[in-house]
Amino acid sequence: MHILVTGGTGFIGSALVPELLKHGFSVTVLTRSEQPLRAGVSFVQSLDAVRSPVDVVVNLAGASLAGRRWSDSYKAEMVASRAGFTETLVRWMRAQSTPPGVLISGSAVGFYGCSRDQFFDETSPAGSGFSAQLCQAWESAASVVEDDMTRVISLRLGVVFDRNGGALTEMMRSFKLGIGTWMGDGNQWLSWVHRTDVVRAILHLCADAGAKGAYNLVAPRPVTHREFCRVLSARRPTLLSLGLPAPIMRVALGEMADELLLKGQRVTPHRLLDAGFDFRFSSLDSALIDILARSKR
């Protein structure tokens, strides 16, 4: 099986690609930069260079949401590198003499907007705000290629945790100095997922011929930011715990502070659980035990 991964050099892609190779798949990674040679992986810088046929496309490319302050021009880049690029990808897929049978395309739990009290599953409507609009545009661009030949899956990802990158590395900085922190009042929800389960779920959805549409890719047990601080402090003892004041975060980070950090969403992976997917890391504690143990090696 030949799998094309866009954004395959990123935090999720760098864990996914080795696992695809282990399963015996041949992998092409679409990247904007030169990459060192790697057995089994073909790196290409344009879709025209992709060897046909491709069986599955995993679409993860996009300018980081946490990468910079959300100026109008950076917002345009976040949209263009996801929805805009996906439109190009879908046109390329349609132009193939044997179109790929599956498109697994990124999205995020930001699709639902933010709420302190609602419980979101895949039947919940889209919310409001920049992240929600971005996810809707991204999912719509991917869905265009859905037909009898190609099934399309949108992965509504929660905050992906692992060592060496991603949100957890940032969230652990103060803990390394002995200070446990949460953001704002800490009562907002954090729908997280271990990167290992992200990779396993992608393989699961790829193999399940009946899987299509949106899937929430979050662990079954979301936590509040205060709970996150409590669970991590039990594994990485701290001298004190405190909340980072919301007004300061808003001044420092702008709109991103509310959308990504101060407000949250409580999301359940209803469809994955229904499909019999078995999360290896359902509780935050089990995920942190694994990640912290591997960080020491």
117-126 core/surface letters (b: 16 or more CB in 10 A; e: else): eeebebebee
Those residues with Cβ within 8 angstroms of residue 213's Cβ, 6 or more apart along the chain or in another chain? 122, 152, 153, 154, 271
Question: CB-wise, 238 or 263, nearer to ligand NAP?
Answer: 263
Q: Is 134 in the site for ligand NAP (CB under 6 A)?
A: no
Residues in the chain: 297
**What is the closest distance, in whole angstroms, from the C-beta atom of residue 79 to ligand NAP in the complex?**
10
Cα angle 139, 97, 4; round to 5: 50
Print the binding letters for residues 12-51 with ligand NAP: x by CB under 6 A, - otherwise.
xx-----------------xxx------------------
In the range 163-202, which residues lie near ligand NAP by CB under 6 A? 166-167
Question: CB-wise, 199 or 249, nearer to ligand NAP?
Answer: 199
**What is the closest distance, in whole angstroms, from the C-beta atom of residue 130 to ligand NAP in the complex?**
13
Selected from 56, 132, 159, 287, the binder of ligand NAP by CB under 6 A is 159
β-strand partners of 175: none
User: Going along the chain, which residue ranges are E strands?
Assistant: 2-6, 26-30, 41-44, 56-59, 102-108, 119-120, 151-157, 159-161, 179-183, 189-190, 192-194, 213-217, 223-224, 240-244, 266-267
Task: Tell me which residue has tokens 């879908």.
Answer: 90
Print the binding letters for residues 219-258 with ligand NAP: x by CB under 6 A, - otherwise.
----------------------------------------
In the range 44-103, which residues lie near ligand NAP by CB under 6 A? 60-65, 77, 81
- Gap between the Cα atoms of 4 and 176, Å rounded: 38
Question: CB-wise, 229 or 260, nearer to ligand NAP?
Answer: 260
**What is the closest distance, in whole angstroms, from the C-beta atom of residue 285 to ligand NAP in the complex?**
19
* Contacting residues toward ligand NAP, per CB under 6 A: 7, 9-13, 31-33, 60-65, 77, 81, 106, 108, 157, 159-160, 166-167
